[in-house]
C-alpha cells in the first residue's frame, strides 16, 4: 500500500521530467569526416548487385515489374523504394569516333576489323591483347549505378519545412521517417529526381540513407560492400576525390578522352556532391543534369515579385477608386 | 514556318526558353525518361492556390479601398474583407489534406526556414488570421470601419 502511494505521487514528476528531457536539445554528435561514394562507371558491369544489396539491407519492397522496352533497365528511375538504380546505355555505331579520342589511342589496336569479321562470319574473333574493349569500339554498352548524391548544399534539405531532412555527423543527408509529414517539397526540389514520396507505403519521403545504421556501427554501405568490381567505392569524400582524379588521369593517359568526373569539383550546386561519378559520356546520357540550379535561390526573387505584383494591383486599385471621387 | 500560339509565346516570355524540336531531338537523353520527379500535388493544391490568391487579392483591394477610397467605396472594403476571410477558410484544411501524413502537419510549424517556400507559407498563416480577427473585432466595435481601424490591421 505504501509503495503504491509512493508510485502515485512520483508519477507526475516523472512524467514532467520525461517531457522536459525530450524538449531539451541534444548536444550534436562529434563531427566525423564527410563520407560518400565514388561510383566509377568505367568498371561497372551492370550486375545490379548494389540494387539487390540495398533492397535487402534496407528491407525495401520490390517495385511492380514493368517492361520498359528500352534496355535491361526496367526500374527507370530512383524512387521511394529504389535507392540504387543501374542504368544501361546502348550506343550503337557512334559517329565521330576519331574526334573523341586522343592521338595517344592511335597505337592501340582498333577492333573495327574484328567487329566486321564477327558480323560477317558470325564468329567472335579473339581479342588482341592490350585492347581496352568498351572504350574504343564504335558500339558500346555503358552501365551506371545511380544513387542519391548527398549534395553539400542539398536542395531537399533546404526545401524541407519540417526539419525531417537533416545532415548527419557523417555529413550525409538523411530523412527522419518519424518527422516527415509527406508534403512532397523535397521531391520537387531535388534536381536529380532522387527523393520520392512512398505512395504505397507510409506516405513519407524516402531516399538513400548512405546506410546510416551501418555507418553507425563502422560498416560500409551495403551497395559498396556488394559491388564485385569496386565500381562503387565508399570512403572519406576528400580521399575519394583524390582517387577519382587519379582514375581519371589514368584513363585519359590511356586515351579515353571522353572520361570525365561528375560532381567531384565544388562547382555543382555551389558546393559539390558527396557522391560523385566517373562518366564515359556527357552527363545527359546518364540522365544527370549538366548544371543543376538550387531551387532555394528562387525563393527570395519569387517572393519579391509577388510583392511587386500586389503593389501594382494596389496602385491600379487606388487609381480606379480615386476616379469615383 | 512554325505557328506560334499565344500560350507558346507566353511560355517563352516567362521561362526564357524557346522550344526547338530539331535541336531537342539531337540532344543526348536517357531513353527520354524525365530527370526530375513530377510534383505530387493534386486538386487540393490547385484550389489552395486559387482561393489563397483570391483572398490575398481581395484583401489588397479592400485595404486600398478603405485607405484611399471615398465614402461609397466602403462597401468595396467591407465585401473585400469578408470575401478574403471566406476564401481563406478552406485553405489550411486543403494544405493539410494534401500531406502524405496529415496528422503530422504540426511538425511543419516548429521549423522556420527562409530557404523553404513551404515553411515560409506555413508561417504566414499566423499573420493572416490575426489580421482578419482584428478586422472582425473592429467591425463589432464600430458600425462603419474607419481608416484608423484598417491601419491597425497591417
DSSP E strand stretches across A151-301: 165-167, 173-175, 196-197, 205-206, 232-236, 260-262, 275-279
Chain B residues 113-132 with CB within 8 Å of chain A: 113-120, 122
H helix or E strand, kind and range, residue A93 = none
Contact A184 B105 (CB under 8 A): no
User: How many Cα atoms are found within 13 Å in the side-chain-facing hemisphere of A160?
Assistant: 27
Residues from chain B that touch A184, judged by Cβ atoms under 8 A, are 39-41, 100
Residue B72: how many other CB atoms lie within 10 Å: 11
Query: Residue B142's pLDDT is what?
Result: 40
Model confidence pLDDT, tens digit, residues A223-263: 999 999 999 999 999 999 999 999 999 888 877 888 999 99
Interface test with A, best of B102, B104, B121 (most A CBs within 10 A): B104
H helix or E strand, kind and range, residue A97 = helix A97-100
Distance from CA of A81 to the nearest CA of B (A): 14
Query: Residue A4's pLDDT is what?
Result: 54
Query: Residue A30's pLDDT is what?
Result: 86
Positions of chain B with pLDDT lower than 70, given as ranges:
1-3, 121-123, 125-154
User: Given CB atoms, is A183 within the 8 Å cutoff of chain B?
Assistant: yes
Distance from CA of A37 to the nearest CA of B (A): 21
Model confidence pLDDT, tens digit, residues A134-154: 566 667 889 999 999 999 999
Distance from CA of B69 to the nearest CA of A (A): 6
Q: Which comes out higher in pLDDT, residue A1 or A245?
A: A245
pTM, entire model: 0.80
Contact B76 A321 (CB under 8 A): yes
Contact B57 A187 (CB under 8 A): no
How does DSSP classify residue A104?
G
Interface test with B, best of A317, A318, A324, A325 (most B CBs within 10 A): A317
Query: Residue A81's pLDDT is what?
Result: 94
Please report, rounded to a whole number, the percentage of residues in chain B having pLDDT higher than 70: 76
Query: Residue A124's pLDDT is what?
Result: 67
Residues from chain B that touch A183, judged by Cβ atoms under 8 A, are 98-100, 108, 118
Q: What is the mean pLDDT of chain A?
A: 85
Q: CA-CA distance, B84 to B61, in Å (whole number)?
A: 10
Model confidence pLDDT, tens digit, residues A60-118: 999 888 899 989 999 999 999 999 999 999 887 765 555 555 555 545 555 667 777 77
Query: Residue A128's pLDDT is what?
Result: 59
Helix A299-322 × helix B43-68 angle, to 10°: 40
Residue A36, helix vs strand vs coil: strand
Nearest residue in chain A measured CA to CA from B28? A285
Which of A185, A286, A313 is the closest to B116 by Cβ? Answer: A185
Is A256:A40 a contact under the CB 8 Å cutoff? no
Model confidence pLDDT, tens digit, residues A184-227: 999 999 999 999 999 999 999 999 999 999 999 999 999 999 99
How does DSSP classify residue A229?
T
Residues in chain A: 325
Query: Residue B9's pLDDT is what?
Result: 86
Please report, rounded to a whole number, the percentage of residues in chain B having pLDDT higher than 90: 21
Each residue of A70-97: b (16+ CB within 10 Å) or e?
A: ebebebbbbbbbbbbbbbbbeeeeeeee
Residues from chain B that touch A149, judged by Cβ atoms under 8 A, are none
Residue B78: how many other CB atoms lie within 10 Å: 17
Query: Residue A5's pLDDT is what?
Result: 53
Check pLDDT > 50 for residue A131: yes
User: Given CB atoms, is B36 within the 8 Å cutoff of chain A?
Assistant: yes
Contact A187 B28 (CB under 8 A): no
User: Given CB atoms, is B65 within the 8 Å cutoff of chain A?
Assistant: yes
Separation of CA A206 from chain center: 12
Query: Residue B150's pLDDT is what?
Result: 40
Residues from chain A that touch B27, judged by Cβ atoms under 8 A, are 284
Amino acid at each position: 500500500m505504501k509503495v503504491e502511494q509512493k508510485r502515485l505521487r512520483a508519477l507526475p514528476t516523472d512524467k514532467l521530467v520525461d517531457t522536459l528531457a525530450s524538449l531539451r536539445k541534444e548536444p550534436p554528435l562529434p563531427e566525423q569526416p564527410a563520407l560518400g561514394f565514388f561510383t566509377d562507371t568505367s568498371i561497372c558491369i551492370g550486375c545490379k548487385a548494389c540494387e539487390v544489396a540495398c533492397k535487402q539491407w534496407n528491407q525495401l519492397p520490390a517495385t511492380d515489374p514493368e517492361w520498359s522496352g528500352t534496355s535491361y533497365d526496367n526500374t527507370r528511375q530512383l524512387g521511394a523504394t529504389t535507392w540504387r538504380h543501374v542504368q544501361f546505355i546502348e550506343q550503337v555505331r557512334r559517329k565521330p569516333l576519331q574526334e573523341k579520342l586522343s592521338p595517344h589511342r592511335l597505337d592501340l589496336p582498333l577492333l573495327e576489323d574484328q567487329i566486321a569479321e564477327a558480323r560477317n562470319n558470325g564468329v567472335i574473333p579473339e581479342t588482341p591483347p592490350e585492347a581496352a574493349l568498351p572504350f574504343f569500339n564504335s558500339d558500346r554498352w555503358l552501365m551506371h549505378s545511380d544513387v542519391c548524391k548527398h549534395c553539400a548544399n542539398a536542395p531537399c534539405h533546404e526545401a524541407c519545412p519540417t526539419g525531417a531532412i537533416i545532415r548527419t555527423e557523417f555529413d550525409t543527408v538523411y530523412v527522419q521517417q518519424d518527422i516527415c509529414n509527406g508534403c512532397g517539397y523535397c521531391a520537387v526540389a531535388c534536381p536529380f529526381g532522387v527523393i520520392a514520396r512512398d505512395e504505397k507505403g507510409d506516405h513519407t519521403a524516402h531516399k538513400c540513407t548512405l546506410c546510416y545504421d551501418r555507418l553507425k556501427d563502422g560498416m560500409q554501405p551495403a551497395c559498396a560492400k556488394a559491388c564485385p568490381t569496386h565500381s562503387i567505392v565508399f570512403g572519406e569524400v576528400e580521399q575519394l576525390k583524390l582517387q577519382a582524379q587519379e582514375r581519371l588521369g589514368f584513363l585519359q593517359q590511356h586515351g579515353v578522352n571522353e572520361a570525365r568526373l561528375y560532381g567531384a569539383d565544388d562547382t555543382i550546386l555551389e558546393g559539390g556532391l558527396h557522391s560523385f561519378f566517373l562518366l564515359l559520356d556527357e552527363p545527359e546520357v546518364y540522365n544527370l543534369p549538366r548544371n543543376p540550379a538550387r531551387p532555394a535561390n528562387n525563393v527570395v526573387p519569387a517572393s519579391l515579385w509577388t510583392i511587386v505584383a500586389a503593389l501594382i494591383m494596389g496602385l491600379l486599385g487606388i487609381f480606379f477608386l480615386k476616379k469615383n471621387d | 514556318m512554325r505557328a506560334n500560339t499565344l500560350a507558346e509565346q507566353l511560355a517563352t516570355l516567362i521561362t526564357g526558353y524557346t522550344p526547338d524540336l530539331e535541336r531537342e531531338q539531337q540532344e543526348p537523353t536517357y531513353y527520354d525518361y524525365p530527370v526530375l520527379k513530377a510534383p505530387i500535388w493534386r486538386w487540393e493544391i490547385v484550389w489552395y492556390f486559387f482561393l489563397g490568391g483570391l483572398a490575398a487579392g481581395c484583401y489588397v483591394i479592400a485595404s486600398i479601398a478603405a485607405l484611399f477610397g471615398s465614402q461609397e467605396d466602403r462597401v468595396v472594403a467591407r465585401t473585400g474583407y469578408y470575401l478574403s476571410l471566406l476564401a481563406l477558410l478552406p485553405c489550411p484544411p486543403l494544405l493539410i489534406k494534401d500531406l502524405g501524413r496529415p496528422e503530422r502537419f504540426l511538425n511543419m510549424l516548429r521549423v522556420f526556414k527562409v530557404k523553404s517556400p513551404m515553411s515560409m507559407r506555413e508561417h504566414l498563416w499566423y499573420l493572416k488570421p490575426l489580421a482578419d480577427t482584428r478586422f472582425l473585432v473592429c467591425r463589432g466595435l464600430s458600425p462603419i470601419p474607419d481608416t484608423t481601424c484598417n491601419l491597425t490591421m497591417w
